Amino acid sequence: MYRAEVPLYGDLIELVDDVNAETGIKPEDRLKVERHGAIRLGKPDELAMIARLFAQMGMEPVGYYDLSPVGVPVHATAFRPTLRSSLAYNPFRVFTSLLLPELLEPELRAEVEAVLAKRDIFQPEVRTLVAKSEAEGGLVEADAALLVEKALDTFRWHDAALVTRDVYDRMHDAHALVADIAAFKGPHINHLTPRVLDIDAAQEGMSRRGITPKTIIEGPPRRACEILLRQTSFQALTEPINFPGGGAAAAGSHRARFGEIEQRGCALTRKGHALYLELMSQIPAAVDNASHQKALAKVFEKFPDSWEEMAAQGLGYFEYALAGAAPAEPTPLAELVAAGVVSQSPVTYEDFLPASAAGIFQSNLDSPGKRSPSPPARNATREKFAALLPIELRDSFALHEEIQESSIRKLEQQLGWKLP
């Protein structure tokens, strides 16, 4: 659906396929299907229902991202699979943000809330089929197919605005995101992101194919041992929309949908993530990508660039597997890895980075809008967001750690002794 709606997305997929083929790395199967998308919701009810819908697809809310400190009036989570087997099958994630209306001026806030109160972003069948599945522990195939068909409608692009041009303009003046969230019938997918193995090549490839990339690649620098998430995007398209009333006077335009590419690396422990944030805080504001990447590379000399050292310092999560004949005597894990008896591979980071997300949001707004009033209304907390969800908000660190720990439990079983 999205490829048909945004043909440039098809070009982006071609570019990513080419870059991935050129790296010569044999991609894991999941790479071929791997995507993340993003939607922006307007009210708590929508978040609760979307959580129930995604739960039917094995996707749970993981992590909390507050974008309000950087002037983006939303907080967010990402719905994604959490089981290792599901991630290996298809790790599709949806970055899902929720408007923080308390950051708007009272008059506009009332107007926005009134528009949102009147809309229902779900087809009636979605509500009944999700409830049926919850009650019966699943759906028969025909119902499942109908649920997918009807659910798709929620994510579709609508070129008819729900509000008049005047209201749209006022929303847009407050923040371009407010108009994108509240002026339309539903939370259209605003981007779909394939995973690339060499994002530096992709950034150059975009320019060569006439796709203008954002100025910098977000996230950590290029490394021998890639960590977390690096992302780049192309600017949002200007698309025709219609305001109510019809005729030439009703014609308008809206910018929201863009393209993004990501490269994923090793998931970091709390300690590793703290080091990442500390190093990122030392990076001066970026002027261009080349100098930004140079500054990153310099500062990140303090972040060990070998899996062995990252494991030794407890900076990253790894999966371990028996790869040779094991000694009978209990031997430390690092020695087994060094001797090639046990293989060590990085656990892929499955989530997002708030600062990078903010950079992606901002690069795609035609006007950055007013900053949130300072001090911002501090309604954005993990606890408050979690309370809006009918499903437990999962912790990103705990999920990545569990992948490591279960690989160690399996290894110990095979070894027949506990690792010292």
Q: Note the residues at the interface with Ni ion (CB under 5 A).
A: 193, 260
Q: How far is the CB of 225 from Ni ion (least distance, A)?
A: 23
Report the nearest approach of ligand OOG to the CB of residue 228 (Å).
11
Residues of this chain, 254-283, that bind ligand OOG according to CB under 6 A? 260
The CB-of-356 to ligand OOG minimum distance in angstroms stands at: 5
Q: Residue 230 CB, nearest distance to Ni ion (Å)?
A: 12
Looking at the Cβ atoms of 198 and 260, the one nearer to Ni ion is 260
Q: Of residues 80-109, which lie at the interface with ligand OOG (CB under 6 A)?
A: 95, 97
154: contact with ligand OOG by CB under 6 A: no
- The minimum distance between CB 29 and Ni ion, in angstroms, equals 22
Out of 68, 133, 231, 407, the residue judged to bind ligand OOG by CB under 6 A: 231
Out of Ni ion, ligand OOG, none, what residue 97 binds, judged by CB under 5 to 8 A for its kind, is: ligand OOG
**Among Ni ion, ligand OOG, none, residue 356 binds (CB under 5-8 Å by kind):** ligand OOG
- Give me the least distance between CB of 89 and Ni ion, in Å please: 21
Nearer Cβ to Ni ion (34/260): 260
Q: Kindly indicate which of the ranges 149-157, 281-289, 322-330, 350-358 contains the residues binding ligand OOG, using the contact rule CB under 6 A.
A: 350-358
216 versus 310: smaller Cβ distance to ligand OOG: 216
Residues from 179 through 198 that contact ligand OOG (CB under 6 A):
190
Q: Which is nearer to Ni ion, 226 or 260 (CB)?
A: 260
Distance CA(400)–CA(406), nearest Å, equals 10
Sites of contact with ligand OOG (CB under 6 A): 38, 40, 95, 97, 190, 231, 260, 352, 356-357, 360-361
